[in-house]
Chains A and B, each alone.
Chain A
Amino acid sequence: MVTNAPRTRGFNCSNCGAAVELRALQHTLTVACTSCGAILDPRDPNVHILQTAALKESVAPAIPLGTRGLWNGRMYEVIGFQRRSIGVELTRYSWDEYVLFNPYQGFRYLSCYQGHWNDIRIVHELPRVVSSKRPSAEYASVTHRHFQRALARTDLVLGEFPWRVRVGDEVTVDDYVAPPFLLSSERTGNEVTWSQGIYTDPRTIWQAFSLSGSPPRAHGVFANQPSPYRQGLAVAFRTFLVLAAILVLVLIGRLVTATDADVFSGNYVYRPGSPEQSFVTETFRLPHAATVDVDLSAAVQNGWLGLDLALINSDTGDAWNAAHEISYYSGVDSDGSWTEGSRQGWVRLPRVPAGEYYLRVEPEGDAQAAAGVGYTIRVRRDVPSLVPYGLAFVAILLPPVLVGWRAHVFERRRLQEGDYGE
């Protein structure tokens, strides 16, 4: 006949006499007295002390032992707590683990490191481990990438565990991540236990177990913490493609519909020496309001030609002024032949109203032009410019680049915590 175990059995700690509760029915293999920390064997009628561990600090687990809560659709009771740590150089980094129990569902665990919480279950499938510079472990069709290998030491134990626990126990832990999942293997000797954790918002834990106050704030980036930028980056990129497509279509539309017509053209020669160089061109018509481009070319050779231009509306008397200097030098030296400058020039005037126009031109050149410099002035209207569209492209590229940068920084901070950071 099997006896039904009562809800909580209890006995007195052989070390300090304090009352010790047993909540995990008959599953408890190890129980640590919450008053003095001594580890006891609950199966031994004499309650043999397995390990005397003085509690060095008064530790109050964030979720008190004995708390019950609705977790994952079932009632669980917190029955055990342990604090473990790993050593990196000379510093120890600690985290807390809580043992949750339900008589039908069994055991599961909650872990907390610097405010980052994980909901952990033992897994039974044997993950497929692929060795490489950065190994990976595949479980449930998810590839987890190796994050860290460390020796985890048990520093503090309170309450009940369904397995053997001693303060000072050390296991080799390998963590593999695929945010929000964390796949861990714990190895003692030849035996390996695999578990998978899911990154959990502590507010759901506080609510499930009716804990007062707010959960402690999380510091830094945790191994399997999902990136808050991941979704934003995908959205930003898709939106960028939409905008880029619109930009290209608009640009093509503009190139196709732009008039780009010659309005006036004239050839001239500049001869220095005349007292008055300025002249005016014949009038020409601009049928529609449009931007005006003035293309210049001059046959300078090792010299320069400056052109002072004014586009004057003969009806309204408005004048748009611009100037351009064309210079071109060439020669041969020890490195070979060289050139500097260009024989072509270009001036763009903003949108001017339709009407009758003429140019007032004042050329100026250097003394080299004694023989006379030939030059051409060509006036065109409604010529599309690519520069504004280039700037627009850079501008719409900025937001996804910004989000991508922040996502990258987040991932770098994540890797810093493991074996693969800088």
Chain B
Amino acid sequence: MIRILYLLFGLTVIGSAVAADTRGWLASAALVRNVPRSIRNNPGAYRSLYNGTPRWFGGK
């Protein structure tokens, strides 16, 4: 009985390892949706999650 539970546990763990590897579960990356195509022309306008607002506003 314990043997079967241990086997099931082990196989689940191994399956999770494969999934974590192929699906990148251990990677952390924040997802932002609907980035407009215009960013390709104006990369600075992209609101980076890490920097908050763009650095340079230009102007006075």
Contact = CB atoms under 8 A, between A and B. Distances in A.
| Touch test A–B (CB under 8 Å) | yes
Interface of A: 232, 235-236, 239-240, 242-243, 246-247, 250, 254, 275-280, 290-292, 308, 310-312, 314, 317-323, 347-351, 358, 360-362, 382, 384-385, 387-389, 391-392, 395-396, 399
Given A318-B33, A319-B31, 17 more contacts: A232-B2, A239-B7, A242-B10, A243-B7, A247-B14, A275-B56, A275-B58, A276-B43, A291-B27, A310-B32, A314-B40, A320-B29, A348-B24, A348-B27, A349-B24, A385-B21, A388-B18
A280 B17 contact: no
Contacts, number: 143
A360 B43 contact: yes
Contacts of A384: 21
Interface of B: 2-3, 6-7, 9-11, 13-14, 16-18, 20-37, 39-40, 43-44, 46, 48-51, 55-56, 58
A310 B26 contact: no
Given A321-B30, A358-B40, A388-B21, A239 B3 contact: yes
B35 A392 contact: no
A268 B29 CA distance: 23
B17 A388 contact: yes
B24 A239 contact: no
A320 B30 contact: yes
Nearest to A290: B22
A388 B20 contact: yes
Contacts of B33: 317-319
B35 A396 contact: no
Given A239-B6, A276-B56, A388-B17, A318 B26 contact: no
Specify which of B2, B24, B33, B48 lies most central, judged by the most chain A CB atoms within 10 Å of its CB: B24
Contacts of B6: 236, 239, 243, 399
B29 A396 contact: no
A254 B27 contact: no
9 contacts: A246-B14, A250-B14, A254-B18, A310-B35, A314-B37, A318-B32, A318-B34, A351-B24, A396-B14
Contacts of B34: 317-318
A399 B9 contact: yes
B22 A321 contact: no
A320 B31 contact: yes
A351 B28 CA distance: 11
A275 B31 CA distance: 27
Given A317-B33, A362-B51, A389-B17, A350 B27 contact: yes
Nearest to B45: A278
Given A278-B44, A323-B50, A360 B39 contact: yes
Nearest to A351: B23
Given A349-B24, A351-B24, A321 B10 contact: no
Contacts of B23: 291, 350-351
B46 A243 contact: no
Contacts of B32: 310, 318-321
Nearest to B49: A321
A242 B7 CA distance: 9
B39 A312 contact: yes
A229 B10 CA distance: 20
Contacts of A239: 3, 6-7, 10
Contacts of A347: 29
Given A246-B11, A276-B56, A279-B43, A318 B35 contact: yes
